[in-house]
């Protein structure tokens, strides 16, 4: 997980590496990992509810956009996806 690696890198850069600080750092990192895992479970749970709702109530060409204040079900009429113009 990239976030956990960034957190480790941050704490390693500011730590004096004393035993007490190292133990506090390890506990903080463990707490952060648990928090991140719980958030991931919440996201998976809620996502599955919406996916099931979409599958049962809309056809496969609909999709849903959600943000902090808005939820919208949309349907594309026409689309084109290409990577032909991407520059490496």
pLDDT tens-digit series, residues 6-55: 666 666 666 555 666 777 878 888 888 888 888 888 888 989 999 999 99
Confidence band, pLDDT 50/70/90 cuts, at residue 84 = very high
Q: Is the pLDDT of residue 74 over 70?
A: yes
Q: How much is the pLDDT for 17?
A: 56
Q: What are φ and ψ of residue 8, in 5° steps?
A: -60, -45
pTM exceeds 0.75: no
Q: How much is the pLDDT for 4?
A: 63
Q: What is the 3-state secondary structure (H, E, C) of the chain?
A: CHHHHHHHHHHHHHCCCCHHHHHHHHHHHHHHHHHHHHHHHHHHHHHHHHHHHHHHHCCCCEEEEECCCCEEEEECCCCCCCCCCCCC
């Amino acid at each position: 997980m990239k976030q956990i690696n960034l957190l480790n890198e941050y704490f390693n850069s500011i730590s004096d590496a004393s035993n007490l600080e190292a133990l506090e750092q390890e506990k903080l990192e463990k707490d952060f990992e648990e928090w991140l895992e719980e958030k991931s479970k919440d996201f998976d749970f809620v996502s599955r509810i919406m996916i099931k709702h979409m599958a049962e109530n809309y056809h496969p060409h609909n999709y849903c956009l959600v943000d902090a204040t808005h939820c919208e079900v949309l349907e594309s009429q026409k689309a084109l996806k290409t990577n032909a113009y991407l520059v490496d």
